[in-house]
Chain A
């Protein structure tokens, strides 16, 4: 019935959605900037550096899902895959590249 379809969809709390996204973004920012610094310290070059970024990013996502979200990210984020994986990817990649270039130039 049209009535029950319209009302059985759960109402979401908008402020909580934004707050959760903001905390996740701050966590990823810290991890990716520090990953850039360490990649520059180790003087990793093109392929190995990006590989290090991908590995760090995926490990961060996995540990976040298992530890902070208690294994159920669906109750804290709608569209979990896009929220956790894709939304912040470009921004973190740019931050990683900036920190990587900075420490690569200073150490090398």
Chain B
């Protein structure tokens, strides 16, 4: 009886008497030694990746003060156009006149100290664009490399055996992907190998990460708000900047001002009618 039990536990297939679906008897230790390590590794790499995002993220680059001034004047004009309805007519007109005059005269355009002929118009030589591209590449690599490494690890160490039975049926297309190590022609798709647990985990670990990192939410919200003013300087040439400023000055001069204080009494009365 014990010998029979040992033989059966080593993974041979027994067809049920009714002959519908092959019920495999698998070693229960198999599941403990495969499911739990893969889950543990994926959860730990996910947490590591979240903590490392501060190390990989590019630092705040310093820019010369004249460039900041020029960028801020343009931003001020755009903000005036966007939010001008919140101030009254007199304030709006004062700001409009001052900004239109300043932008049209090009007083705050940052001009480089070298001669114009030597300027490299090549965007690849500009250190600002190089940094922006590096940060994008680093961000993509940070999510792509751990996934590849874990997939290789699972295929290398946990290959060649059937692990578990999925609770739900799938079509035959998935058979090749989920039963990668097992070369049988008519094993039901519900019996899968270890790589299927990797795929299911990749899709389903988002709630787990959310629950595990619930302490950092406040910091993340405030960090997102303080990081938005970082601008990547893709164009640094005075000619482009000057034409931008002139077009902004035009937009401001022709802007219609609608004040939110005009009909405020009627609106308040309507709201509390």
Within 8 A of B (CB), among A70-108: 91-92, 94-102, 104-106, 108
Known: A26-B211, A33-B208. A98 touches B200 (CB 8 A): yes
Closest to A22 in B: B217
Q: 1/0 contact trace for A4-45 toward B, CB 8 Å? A: 101110000001001100100110011011000001100011
A residues contacting B by CB (< 8 A) are 1-4, 6-8, 15, 18-19, 22, 25-26, 29-30, 32-33, 39-40, 44-46, 49-50, 91-92, 94-102, 104-106, 108
Closest to A50 in B: B168
Q: How big is chain B's contact interface, by range?
A: 20 to 34
Neighbouring A residues of B205 by C-beta, 8 Å: 95, 98
User: 6 tightest CB-CB pairs across the interface, nearest first?
Assistant: A98-B204, A29-B207, A105-B164, A95-B207, A94-B204, A46-B168
Check B201 against A98 for contact (C-beta < 8 Å).
yes
Instruction: Give chain A nearest CB distance to B270 CB in angstroms.
Output: 7
Report the stretch among B66-74, B91-99, B141-149, B259-267 that lies at the interface: B259-267
Give every chain B residue within 8 A of A29 (Cβ-Cβ): 207-208, 210-211
Q: Check B214–A108 contact: CB distance below 8 A.
A: no
CA distance A4 to B204 in the complex (A): 47
Question: In the complex, what distance in Å separates the CA atom of A33 from the CA atom of B267?
Answer: 47
Across-interface contacts of B55 in A (CB, < 8 A):
none
Q: Contacts A26-B214, A97-B200 given; indicate if A18 touches B260 (C-beta within 8 A).
A: no
For B53, list chain A residues within 8 Å (CB).
none
Using Cβ atoms and an 8 Å threshold, which residues of chain A touch B169? 46
The reply on B251 being an interface residue by CB < 8 A is: no
Task: Identify which of residues 164-191 in chain B touch chain A, using a CB-to-CB cut-off of 8 Å.
Answer: 164-169
Q: Given A8-B267, A100-B167, list of 12 further CB < 8 A pairs?
A: A3-B263, A4-B263, A4-B267, A15-B221, A29-B207, A33-B208, A33-B211, A45-B167, A91-B207, A95-B206, A106-B31, A106-B35
Number of A-B contacts (CB under 8 A): 89
Residues of chain A within 8 A of B217, CB atoms compared: 22
Known: A26-B210, A95-B208, A98-B205. A104 touches B167 (CB 8 A): yes
Instruction: Return 13 A-B CB contacts under 8 Å, by A number.
Output: A25-B210, A26-B211, A32-B207, A33-B208, A39-B167, A45-B168, A92-B207, A94-B200, A94-B204, A95-B208, A101-B167, A104-B166, A105-B35
Residues of B149-164 at the interface with A, using a CB-CB cut-off of 8 Å, are: 163-164
CB distance from A61 to the nearest CB of B (A): 16
Determine the residue in chain A with the shortest Cβ distance to B203. Answer: A94
Within 8 Å of chain A (Cβ to Cβ): is B52? no
Report the minimal beta-carbon distance from A103 to chain B, rounded to whole angstroms. Answer: 9
B258 is an interface residue with CB less than 8 A from chain A = yes
Interface string of B64-94 (1 = CB under 8 A from A): 0000000000000000000001000000000
